[in-house]
Structure 1
Amino acid sequence: MVRLSRGDWVALGRAAILDLLAEQHAAPLVELEARICDRSWKDRHNPIDPHLLTIARKELLAEGLVDELVATTRGGGDVAVFHLSPVQRGMARRISDAAARKRLLIARWKSWSRGTQHMPNLIGAGGEAVVHQSLLTSAAYGYRVLQPTRGEVATIYEQPVPGGPLDNAAWLLTMDPRTQMPGDPYLVPIEVKNVRHTLYPNHWESYQLLHKAAGLANSHPRYPVLPILICRKAHYRARQLAKDLGFLIFETHDQYVLPSERLQLDHVEEVRAELGFADLTVTDQANPRLVDWLSGTVHREAPKFATRWMDFGRHHIGIYAALRDERLRWRQRTPWLEALHAAVEANFDTAGGWAPSEEDEPGLM
């Protein structure tokens, strides 16, 4: 198989964007990524990394082949949609109608993730519910969930969790398979990021977990800590970062929505079909893949990853505190990530191929 260059992937991204906009007439960024980055576009090639699709989109905008139309939704938020440019004769109305429809669907989806006066945060709560039920199902494999009835953990060791409450936490009790004697327990802090965008090393979400986990490990170094991040999708560079620092990532490949009497399932189906969110899933039940991972992979990897975290990862709490700040723009975050990357290189033979680059900024809502 021929290995494609970065330029090849950008060219494929350009072609896919143009083809998609010709078909859909208008599409927001999250739809472009859902249809081109989450899966193969019309089975023509493998999914394209979001940061490469961003390069392709910026090139098309700069060349005037694609234009951006920003308008305010009923909920008061600005939503940008993209369409082909220049607008061909007879296409203006089709583009306008398609853009209005996509903005309505985006506003609906965002209402589930942000919550309103009449509707809770169904996406955030949905991810946390699935993880909590999966942990409870895994109890037979040595997990003692700290808050079996609600999940969220605000205190550990009779003290507030440093950096704020965790989405979940458990003690992992291990056993030597040969002697059947109990092994060391691991404290497992868990954060759930049930978001649509693919997580990169520069995104803030990972560092919220790492900041809290470092605080717990530094305050009680006698007990090994094994941080776990659960998200919809993580870029391979984020997984390399996890290996270097000593934490685990599980990708659900689903975005969960908590069942609710106020949630109209036909609205969910419209968002799923018309925005390409094929993985949008209404459930609060355990994920069998996550249960298998917790009962197998985590047990096997716990000694290696917890050792790396206790020996190295936990000592960079200041960097994690800075990087968890959602307000920092991409370029403001890069120096902190460079410092973390340099620390890995100074202590180990390699730093996993996740060196930050300003060219690698993926598009976000």
Structure 2
Amino acid sequence: MSEQSEYVDRARTLIMDTLNQELAVVRLELEARVSEHFYVGHASNIDPHHVTTALRELKSDNLIQRVTAPSRGGHQIETIQPANRMNRSTAIDRAAARKRALYAKYTGWAQGTVRHPQGLIGPAGERAVRSAILAASALQPLAPGFGEVSTVLGVQLSGPVDSAGFLVPQIAGIPQAPVTAIFEVKNIRGWIYPQSPELFQVLSKAVELQTAHPNLPIVPILVCRRAHETTFWMAKQLGFIVIAMERQYAGTAMTDEEVIDVRNGLDFNDLHRGTGPSLRVQERLQGPISQNCAEIAETWRGTSTGLGHYFAALKGKQRSPQRAHLMHQLRAASTKRGDRGGW
């Protein structure tokens, strides 16, 4: 049995065990329960892409069903349920209604409402990162409080970046040329993979900046809740930075009880009320990023010139054969120039 098959088989077993216990789950809850726990006797956890494959197989085998129904607020929400409903139909329906209600509440925080059109979770993540940058005292801000900026180094970007500033590396105590760092914050539940469009949103803006200033050191930085290990490999090879906060800040507009209810009910164990600062971001900025930013910027300069033409097309969220083909081309071009690949 291949390693991939072993992971998928483990995922199938854990999914069915979870469904027999919970009776109904939403997709992101299932990823949290299966992919974000340590299982005794195994060297590594089961990543979300294995969960995706396992779900596809279980659906094909008629062992699970996907049921979409409205929550109390009117949101159409899909739950994953066991196909075998014998002697538990009422319990499954009640569990599904409960999960839809919890997920509708979370979705309101994440995607926005009439009262909070930008949502609560996204802005909370941005504030957690900005306060961490301030606490790190490693950058000079481009805007007061490291706020959102649309123009960097005189370049009007295609969209604003969440924060930007200047790092001044030192060699033997001697200040070197400042490195321009641009930040995008994606405080989302889903893991960031090498093909994730959220990643290419910051990379495409960094290409715009590097193209206008080919001789200046520039480093794009993506901050997210979680990233797959292959994304970190990609970052090292292409010359950008990914910081996984491993904590999802929800803001302060809700009560502690509401957050605990959603966290426990959907197993979103890293969901917390508040706005930071993110200690992970602070530690990375005070340590390896400040020490290695010039080297990273030099790698990024080569990437921007040689591979950057792929990035703008990959920032869209559509799934298509063309997008998959572009990712294949990007990986091939990266390998051709001597990168180790693996992402």
**1:183-231, Cα deviation, whole Å (9 max, x unpaired):** 1110001101111111111110000000000101110122100111111
Task: Confirm or deny that 1:312 pairs with 2:309.
Answer: no
SS at match of 2:336: helix
Mapped to 2, the partners of 1:195 and 1:238 lie a distance apart of 16
Residues 71 and 79, structure 1, Cα contact 8 Å, conserved in 2: yes
Instruction: Report Cα offsets for 1:256-290 as digits up to 9, x if no partner.
Output: 11112xx1321111110010000001222322232
Q: 1:178-257 alignment to 2 at 5 Å?
A: 178=172, 180-257=173-250
Question: How many angstroms apart in 2 are the aligned matches of 1:132 and 1:313?
Answer: 26
**Aligned counterpart, 1:278:** 269
Provide closer, same or farther for how the CA distance between residues 146 and 334 of structure 1 changes in structure 2, counting only shifts above 3 A.
same
For 2:305 and 2:188, the matched residues in 1 are separated by 25
* Cα 1:244/1:150, change in 2 over 3 Å: closer
1:50-65 paired onto structure 2 within 5 Å: 50-65=48-63
2:341 to 343, 346, 352: 352
Letter in 2 for 1:352: G
User: Are positions 1:96 and 2:93 aligned together?
Assistant: yes
Whether the aligned pair in 2 keeps the contact of 1:69 and 1:80 (CA below 8 Å) is yes
- C-alpha distance in 2 between matches for 1:220 and 1:175: 22
Contact 2:71 2:100 in 1 (8 A): yes
Within 5 A, what are the aligned runs for 1:1-365?
A: 5-40=3-38, 43=40, 45=42, 46-89=44-87, 91-119=88-116, 120-139=118-137, 141=138, 143-149=139-145, 151-160=147-156, 162-176=157-171, 178=172, 180-260=173-253, 263-326=254-317, 328-348=318-338, 350-354=339-343
Alpha-carbon RMSD across the aligned residues, in angstroms, is: 1.7
How far, CA to CA, are the matches of 2:90 and 2:235 in structure 1?
48
Q: Would you say the 8 A contact 2:146–2:164 is kept in 1?
A: no
Amino acid aligned to 1:288: L
Alpha-carbon offset, residue 315 of structure 1? 4.0
Tell me: CA distance 1:100–1:215, structure 2 relative to 1, closer, same or farther (3 Å).
same
CA contact (8 A) 1:144 1:172 kept: yes
The verdict on how the C-alpha distance between 1:4 and 1:145 changes in structure 2, with shifts beyond 3 A counting, is farther
TM-score (norm 2): 0.95
The residue aligned with 1:363 is none
Question: Structure 1 residues 36, 194: closer, same or farther in 2, change over 3 A?
Answer: same
**1:74 CA drift (Å):** 3.9
Separation in 2, partners of 1:309, 1:158 = 20
CA contact (8 A) 2:79 2:96 kept: yes
Task: Report SS of the residue matched to 2:208.
Answer: helix
2:146 and 2:164 map into 1 onto residues whose CA distance is: 11
TM-score relative to the length of structure 1: 0.89
Contact 2:201–2:315 (Cα < 8 Å) also in 1: yes
What code does the residue aligned with 1:122 have? L
- Which is bigger in relative contact order (C-alpha 8 A, separation at least 6)? 1
Q: How many aligned positions are there? A: 341
Q: Note closer, same or farther for the CA distance 1:313–1:222 as it changes in structure 2 (3 Å cut).
A: closer
Aligned identity (percent) is: 33
- Which whole-Å CA distance do the structure 1 matches of 2:142 and 2:73 have between them? 38
State how far apart, in whole Å, the 1-side matches of 2:215 and 2:74 are.
50
3-state SS of paired residue (1:296): helix
Q: 1:10 to 1:116 in 2, by over 3 A?
A: same
> Which consecutive residues of structure 2, in runs of 5 or more, have no partner in the other structure?
none
Q: 1:144 is matched by which residue type in structure 2?
A: Q
Matches of 1:201 and 1:287, distance apart in 2: 23
**CA, structure 1 residues 314+294, in 2 after alignment: closer, same or farther (shift >3 Å)?**
farther
Deviation at 1:47, TM superposition (A): 2.1
Could you tell me which runs of 5 or more consecutive residues in structure 1 were left unpaired when the two chains were aligned: 355-365
Q: Which moved more, 1:328-337 or 1:242-251?
A: 328-337
State the partner residue of 1:361.
none
For 2:235, what is the secondary structure of its paired residue?
helix
Given the superposition, is the C-alpha separation of residues 227 and 150 from structure 1 closer, same or farther in structure 2, using an over 3 Å criterion?
A: closer
In the alignment, the residues of structure 1 paired with residue 177 and residue 2 of structure 2 have an alpha-carbon distance, to the nearest angstrom, of 46
Contact 1:172 1:188 in 2 (8 A): yes
Q: Which moved more, 1:292-301 or 1:69-78?
A: 69-78
